Amino acid sequence: MLADCHDPILEGALAYWRRLAAGGRLPRRRDIDPSQIPRLLPHLQLIDVVDAGARFRYRLVGTALVAAFGKEYTGKYLDELFAGDRLANASRVYSIVCSRQRPVFLRNRYSTTRDLQMIANRLYMPLSDDGASVNVIFGVLTFEWGCSAAIGMWGDAQLDTTTATLDILEDTAVAVQPIGRASPASLNT
């Protein structure tokens, strides 16, 4: 769970998203103001939801994530980067963010080809330009490295699905409502 992680970057990201969602609706991509979140920028991903979630494209990837991955992946589709279990796991998580329209915290262990261990802590938060469907996922990631030699190896590391933690943050009071059609009753869902 995110509460057990005690990660100031992820906690700051969730607090920021909750402030944007305070009006009871999913924030829009244009609500994200980089000048308000300079500490988050290196850890940030903006992921486009393409064809109602059939594919996902990395619109923006922060410098810390590029360094951890070992190469630039801005503009790439998820299915261009991964296959097998890793593709299925990431697609499932992104689909949960879209369908549940709630932030999702994910913690996974990875091991590299050199048997170096790393842990990825991720927070994915939904954004919606129309107030009804998620069209962008606002992701913030941090890593715990077994040693500094593992930096840059996340892209090729093997996902250990047996140690995964996934937490849908249900306590977030956000209602799905089309823009311009808010009503008090719609805020209670």
175 falls within a domain: no
CA distance 169 to 125: 10
Give the mean pLDDT of 81-86: 90
Residue type, 22: A
- Supply the range of the domain harboring residue 65: 2-168
* pLDDT at 153 > cutoff 60: no
In the chain, how many domains are there? 1
Give domain status of residue 135, yes or no: yes
Mean pLDDT, the chain, rounded, equals 80
Domain membership flag for residue 75: yes
With vertex at residue 64, the alpha carbon angle to CA 53 and CA 52, rounded to the nearest 5 degrees, is 5
Give a yes or no: residue 173 inside a domain.
Answer: no
The domain spanning residue 142 has which CATH number?
3.30.450.20
Residue 82 CB burial class (10 angstroms; 0-12, 13-18, ≥19): middle
pLDDT tens for residues 118-135? 788 999 999 999 988 999
As given in the structure block, the two tokens for residue 66 are 């590029």
Q: Is the pLDDT of residue 30 over 90?
A: yes
Q: Tell me the pLDDT band of 75, cut-offs 50, 70 and 90.
A: very high
Q: Order of strands across the sheet with 117-127?
A: 55-61, 44-50, 136-145, 117-127, 104-111, 158-168
Measured distance CA(83)–CA(91) in Å, rounded: 10
pLDDT for 45: 97
Strand partners, 31: none
| 30 is a domain residue | yes
Residue 159 in any domain: the answer is yes
Residue 153 lies in a domain: yes
